[in-house]
């Protein structure tokens, strides 16, 4: 993978000037490459990774395993894309194994998520069954540990 | 009656006369201060890879808590024989040509003590790691420093060695990639040095602890050159490439007779390296490439950033090609290396190490380690910029 993308994945807020210095190219070239990635849809967005527990946001996240019937012509794509369009669904994956789709669904309350499952998701044509697991506590999200890093124990000067 | 016992005159005179490491001295000052950004740390800021730490816990649970062979676990020596063959290009017999030690520091001490008789001269290049001179003296050798300069990228040449060699010269010590300069030696550079060592019939001790950390050209080990294996002790360890400094684990590879001699000293003084550290090292070697490759990329980016920033600030800095140190010249500011470092510390709270900690010829330079987060490096650069934009005269 392009080293520039790796750096942006680690910190999307890094300035083009700093990126340029690290990669030994000009800042103008960095900006152009980023724009190109955005235009081509390789970079699909930038987000902050929050520690919502610390923020005290009341939120419920459920992981839902869904069994579906693949449709003629569209296969799994048609039903998966239909489900993905619900704003409550934050992530959706086609899986191998005992179920077909894995969804991450967010709501303000347990009831909100439950009603999404029973009133929106389950009645969809092609959805055979669902199995809902509520998330209790996140430890690591998007490669970032949610607890505070342990302090640097290295001596401040060493040979 | 005076109850106090005067020890000073009873101490071994060599020990008494060797000063404490200049780095310790500086650490004592830094450790009294708060909110210091340190570019003075000579160890990786990466964590030891998790699979290595996890397997150490497992080894503890399984009871790997006993003495090991004096040479070290044979499984570790076998893994090292494969690793050294592949990465450094020299074949060693794990049965009798590899010795596991407590860090490279112990291995270096063993090699010198196994080789030197009182008065034997040892050629080594400065600026260099803080322990070299002292370790030679403790082994009753005579340290002969060879000065390397930024104009030549802090590389060592045959001519420099010729100028300092005498009939008493017995050992040549090398350390590339180099701490504190970040210099490396090309294969062609090393061929010249190797020819010199062979012609003079010198023994070579090569400390290649930073061997995995080169950024623009692959590392060449002198031990891989024709005729060198039989006269060389190769030293390496786990501190840098696997960020395992606290595990204190190094090793020496060399001809069986020499390793046997080193083992005897090790056997009577150290017995063996920590069993747990050895188990951790076995795990580290199980998948070295993945761990090291990403680390190297990250260091390269930081190096580019730091050295680029120095140049933008008008601070002369030779391009370091290995290890994780930049060694910029601060002589144009009209302060000694130590005064520059002290004032930078007190006025802007940035810790760098005065070049003189690495030998007299380090005067006018400071060592800046980029083994710290990019955020720290950025902040340090900002502070250094502020520092040098003020009038600096005393």
Tell me the two tokens of residue B10: 């009873």
A118 part of a folded domain: yes
Running DSSP on this structure, what letter comes out for residue B322?
A: B
Rounded to 5°, angle at Cα B362 from B241 and B367: 40
All residues of chain A having their beta carbon less than 8 Å from the beta carbon of residue B135 are none
Please report, for residues A83, A119, A143, B226, the alpha-carbon distance to residue A90 in angstroms, rounded to integers and kept in the order given: 11, 18, 17, 61
The CATH number of domain B9-47+290-387 is 3.90.1150.10: yes
Query: Is B237 part of the contact surface with chain A (CB cutoff 8 Å)?
Result: no
In this structure, are A57 and A117 located in the same domain? yes
On whether both A17 and A80 belong to a single domain, the answer is no
- pLDDT for B2: 58
With CB atoms and an 8 Å threshold, state whether A156 touches B38: yes
Residue A104 included in any domain:
yes
Size of interface A-B (CB pairs under 8 A): 58
Nearest Cα of chain A lies from the Cα of B285 at a distance, in angstroms, of 24
Is there a cis peptide before residue B199, judged by omega within 30 degrees of 0? no
Query: Are A57 and A35 contained in the same domain?
Result: no
Most B-contacting residue of A8, A22, A157 (CB-CB within 10 A), to test interface? A157
- Note whether residue A98 is domain-resident: yes
* Interface contact flag, A7 B301, Cβ < 8 Å: yes
**Interface check B290 vs A, CB under 8 A:** no
- The whole-number pLDDT of residue B149 equals 95
Do A126 and A74 share a structural domain?
Answer: yes
- Do A78 and A132 sit in the same domain of this protein? yes
A10: domain CATH number is 1.10.10
Pairs from A102-105 (Cβ < 8 Å, separation ≥ 24): A102/A63, A102/A64, A102/A65, A102/A66, A103/A63, A103/A64, A103/A66, A104/A61, A104/A62, A104/A63, A104/A64, A105/A61, A105/A62, A105/A63, A105/A64
Report the residue of chain A nearest B378, measured CA to CA. Answer: A18
Residue contact A159–B301, C-beta within 8 A: no
**Same domain, residue pair A58 and A31:** no
Provide the token pair at B46: 């990466």
Asked if B137 reaches chain A (Cβ–Cβ under 8 Å), the answer is: no
Residue A149 domain-assigned (yes or no): no
Q: Is B45 on the interface with A (CB under 8 A)?
A: yes
Q: Distance (Å) from the C-alpha of residue B7 to the closest C-alpha of chain A?
A: 29
Spatial CA neighbour of B234 closest among B219, B245, B223, B249 = B223
Instruction: Give me B225's structure tokens.
Output: 């050159």
ipTM of the complex: 0.72
Closest residue on chain B to A2 (Cα): B297
Q: How far apart are CA B221 and CA B208, in angstroms?
A: 8
Whether B313 and chain A come into contact, CB under 8 Å, resolves to no
Task: Tell me the two tokens of residue B228.
Answer: 């060198």
Give B103-129 pLDDT, tens digit per residue. Answer: 999 999 999 999 999 999 999 999 999
Give residue-wise pLDDT tens across range B255-269.
Answer: 999 999 999 999 999
Mutation choice for B interface testing from A22, A23, A145, A159 by most B CBs within 10 A? A159
- B118 to each of B11, B108, B143, B179, B261, how far by Cα in Å? 19, 17, 11, 28, 17
Contact across the interface for B38 and A18, Cβ inside 8 Å: no
Of all residues in chain A, the one with the smallest CA distance to B132 is A159
**A159 and B30: CB-CB below 8 Å?**
no
Cβ–Cβ gap A154/B130 under 8 Å:
no
Q: Does domain B50-286 have CATH number 3.40.50.300?
A: no
| Residue of B38, B313, B341 to mutate for A, most A C-beta atoms under 10 A | B38
All residue ranges of chain B with pLDDT < 50 are none
Q: Are residues A26 and A82 in the same domain?
A: no
**A140 close contact with B: CB closer than 8 A:** no
Euclidean distance between the first and final Cα of chain A, in Å? 35
> Could you list the residue range(s) of the whole structural domain that residue A114 is in?
52-137
- Contact at 8 Å (CB) between B276 and B249? no
Chain-chain contact of A7 with B351 (C-beta, under 8 angstroms): no
Query: A157 at the B interface (CB within 8 A)?
Result: yes
Question: Would you call B351 and A157 a contact, using CB atoms and an 8 Å cutoff?
Answer: yes
Does any domain span residue A157?
no
Q: What is the pLDDT of residues A85-144, one digit of tens each?
A: 999 999 999 999 999 999 999 999 999 999 999 999 999 999 999 999 999 988 998 888
Q: Are residues A109 and A59 both part of a single domain? A: yes
Selection from A117, A84, A89, A82 nearest residue A105 by Cα? A89
Q: Where in chain B is the domain with CATH 3.90.1150.10?
A: 9-47+290-387
What is the total count of domains within chain A? 2
* Per-residue model confidence (pLDDT) at position B3: 62
Give me the percent of chain A exceeding a pLDDT of 90.
74
Asked if the C-beta of A7 comes within 8 angstroms of chain B's C-beta atoms, the answer is yes
The answer as to whether A73 is a domain residue is yes
CB-based contact, B304 to chain A, within 8 Å: yes
Contact flag B23-A157 (C-beta cutoff 8 Å): yes
């Amino acid at each position: 993978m392009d080293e520039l993308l790796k750096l942006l994945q680690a910190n999307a807020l890094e300035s083009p000037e700093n990126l340029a210095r690290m990669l030994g190219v000009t800042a103008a070239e960095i900006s152009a490459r980023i724009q190109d990635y955005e235009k081509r849809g390789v970079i699909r967005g930038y987000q902050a990774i929050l520690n919502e527990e610390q923020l005290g946001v009341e939120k419920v996240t459920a992981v839902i395993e869904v069994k579906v019937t693949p449709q003629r012509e569209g296969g799994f794509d048609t039903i998966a894309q239909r489900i993905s369009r619900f704003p409550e669904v934050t992530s959706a994956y086609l899986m191998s194994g005992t179920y077909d789709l894995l969804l991450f669904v967010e709501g303000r309350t347990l009831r909100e998520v439950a009603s999404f499952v029973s009133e929106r998701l389950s009645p969809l044509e092609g959805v055979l069954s669902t199995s809902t697991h509520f998330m209790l506590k996140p430890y690591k999200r998007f490669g970032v540990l949610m607890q505070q890093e342990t302090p640097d124990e290295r001596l401040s000067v060493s040979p | 009656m005076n109850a106090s016992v005067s020890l000073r005159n009873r101490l071994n005179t060599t020990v008494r006369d060797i000063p404490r490491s200049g780095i310790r001295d500086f650490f004592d000052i830094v450790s009294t201060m708060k909110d210091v950004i340190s570019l003075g740390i000579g160890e990786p800021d990466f964590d030891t890879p998790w699979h290595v730490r996890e397997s150490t816990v497992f080894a503890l649970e399984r009871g790997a808590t006993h003495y090991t062979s004096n040479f070290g676990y044979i499984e570790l020596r076998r893994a090292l024989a494969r690793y050294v063959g592949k990465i450094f290009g020299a074949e060693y017999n794990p049965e009798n040509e590899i010795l596991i030690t407590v860090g490279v520091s112990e291995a270096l001490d063993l090699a010198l003590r196994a080789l030197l008789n009182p008065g034997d001269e040892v050629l080594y290049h400065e600026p260099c790691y803080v322990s070299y001179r002292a370790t030679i003296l403790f082994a009753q050798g005579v340290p002969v420093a060879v000065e390397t300069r930024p104009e030549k990228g802090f590389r060592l040449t045959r001519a420099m060695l010729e100028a300092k060699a005498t009939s008493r010269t017995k050992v040549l010590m090398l350390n590339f990639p180099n701490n504190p300069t970040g210099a490396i030696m090309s294969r062609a550079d090393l061929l010249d040095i190797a020819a010199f060592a062979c012609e003079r019939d010198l023994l070579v001790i090569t400390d290649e602890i930073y061997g995995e950390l080169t950024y623009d050209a692959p590392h060449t080990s002198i031990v891989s050159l024709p005729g060198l294996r039989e006269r060389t002790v190769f030293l390496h360890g786990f501190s840098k490439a696997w960020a395992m400094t606290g595990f204190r684990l190094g090793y020496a590879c060399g001809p069986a007779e020499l390793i046997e001699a080193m083992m005897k000293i090790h056997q009577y003084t150290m017995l063996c390296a920590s069993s747990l550290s050895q188990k951790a090292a076995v795990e580290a070697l199980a998948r070295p490439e993945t761990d090291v490759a990403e680390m190297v990329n990250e260091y390269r980016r930081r190096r580019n950033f730091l050295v680029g920033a120095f140049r933008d600030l008008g601070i002369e800095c030779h391009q370091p090609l290995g290890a994780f140190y930049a060694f910029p010249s601060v002589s144009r500011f009209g302060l000694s290396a130590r005064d520059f470092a002290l004032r930078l510390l007190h006025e802007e709270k940035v810790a760098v190490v005065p070049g003189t900690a690495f030998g007299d010829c380090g005067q006018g330079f400071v060592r800046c380690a980029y083994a710290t987060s990019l955020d720290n490096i950025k902040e340090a650069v900002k502070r250094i910029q502020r520092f040098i934009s003020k009038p600096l005269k005393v």
